[in-house]
């Protein structure tokens, strides 16, 4: 798989043009990938819908269950996949991002006879994932992704990162929480992000610690939340750490650090200042 003139070429690639686009990205963009599930019946039916003017929606690609990729919008052109959305200091993510839609039915309904898609198709048990969504607190049932889809998504993200200097991979559920649940907990989003985005940064970050056996740092925020996992939606496990609290850094992952003080938990490393070696 290669990218030539902002279009994929290679095996299992087809092109179908969507009219649902804005102009070209600004300079230095896109720098973000947004992952979605289609919530549809098949990659072909979703691609057809996203090429229909009345859909008023599109994406750069749709990835099918065999790992086949249908490209709908060139990668230098703004597609309509994110809608109302916010990430850090940005809103309206379409103008910053490449949208990847993965053919998947989404959340399933549990009935007496088994698990069903929202459009009424029964899903075999081996394609059902029971999990808690990152924006929710109770488990529910989700349509599993195929290995071929997950692998194709990863390969595409690696390629996009090489060609477009991608710095961020997010799920639609993270930029439009409350409104969207895709790609949902059946997709290994954190794993993808950790291997493609954070591993690079982590190796840069940890260089600074090479000669420090147990780095310690001081909290610089008034009140720094300490959480059960390295993400903003994870539970707070104790009252916030006060400014000036000294912590030992046990582990780092992206912009998060697992620290130990009277308790152990994850904090945003933006609000830590490393202490000088004694
Ligand atoms: Zn979406």
Collapsing DSSP states into helix, strand and coil, what is residue 65?
coil
Average pLDDT in the 192-201 region?
80
CATH class of the domain at 2-202 = alpha beta
Q: Which pLDDT tens digit goes with each residue over 224-249?
A: 999 999 888 899 999 999 999 999 88
Assess whether the region 2-202 and the region 216-274 belong to the same CATH fold.
no
Residues in Cβ contact with 200 at an 8 Å cutoff, skipping those fewer than 6 apart:
none
Ligand 1 midpoint to CA 83 (Å): 9
Distance 91 CA to ligand 1 centre (A): 15
Residue identified by tokens 């780095």 is: 215
Tokens of 28: 């230095």
**So where are the chain's domains?**
2-202, 216-274
Q: Which residues contact 209 (CB under 8 A, 6 or more apart)?
A: 215, 249
pTM for this entry: 0.73
Q: What distance in Å separates the CA atoms of residue 145 and residue 139, rounded to the nearest whole number?
A: 18
Identify the CATH number of the domain defined by range 216-274: 2.30.30.40
Q: What protein residues have CB closer than 5 angstroms to ion ligand 1? A: 36, 172, 182
Q: What does the alpha-carbon distance between residue 108 and residue 47 come to, in Å, rounded to a whole number? A: 22
pLDDT band at 206 (very low <50, low <70, confident <90, very high): very low
């Amino acid at each position: 798989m290669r990218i030539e003139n902002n279009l994929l070429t290679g095996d299992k690639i087809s092109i179908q043009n969507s009219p649902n686009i804005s102009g070209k990205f600004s300079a230095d963009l896109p720098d973000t990938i947004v992952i979605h599930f289609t919530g549809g019946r098949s990659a072909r039916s979703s691609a057809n819908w996203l090429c229909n003017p009345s859909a008023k929606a599109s994406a750069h690609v749709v990835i099918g269950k065999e790992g086949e990729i249908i490209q709908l919008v060139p990668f230098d052109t703004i597609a309509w996949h994110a809608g109302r959305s916010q990430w850090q200091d940005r809103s309206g993510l379409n103008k910053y991002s490449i949208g990847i839609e993965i053919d998947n039915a989404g959340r399933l309904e549990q009935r007496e006879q088994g698990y069903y898609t929202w459009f009424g198709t029964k899903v075999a048990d081996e394609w059902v994932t029971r999990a808690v969504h990152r924006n929710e607190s109770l488990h529910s049932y989700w349509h599993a992704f195929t290995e071929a889809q997950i692998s194709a998504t990863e390969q595409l993200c690696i390629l996009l990162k090489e060609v477009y200097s991608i710095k961020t991979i997010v799920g639609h559920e993270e930029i439009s929480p409350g409104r969207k649940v895709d790609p949902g907990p059946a997709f290994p989003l954190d794993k993808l992000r950790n291997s493609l985005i954070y591993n690079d940064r982590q190796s840069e970050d940890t260089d600074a610690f090479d000669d420090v056996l147990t780095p310690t740092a001081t909290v610089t925020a008034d009140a720094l939340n300490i959480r059960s996992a390295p993400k903003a939606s994870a539970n707070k496990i104790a009252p916030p750490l006060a400014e000036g609290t000294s912590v030992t850094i046990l582990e780092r992952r992206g912009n998060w650090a697992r620290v130990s003080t009277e308790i152990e938990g994850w904090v945003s490393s933006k609000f830590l200042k490393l202490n000088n070696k004694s």
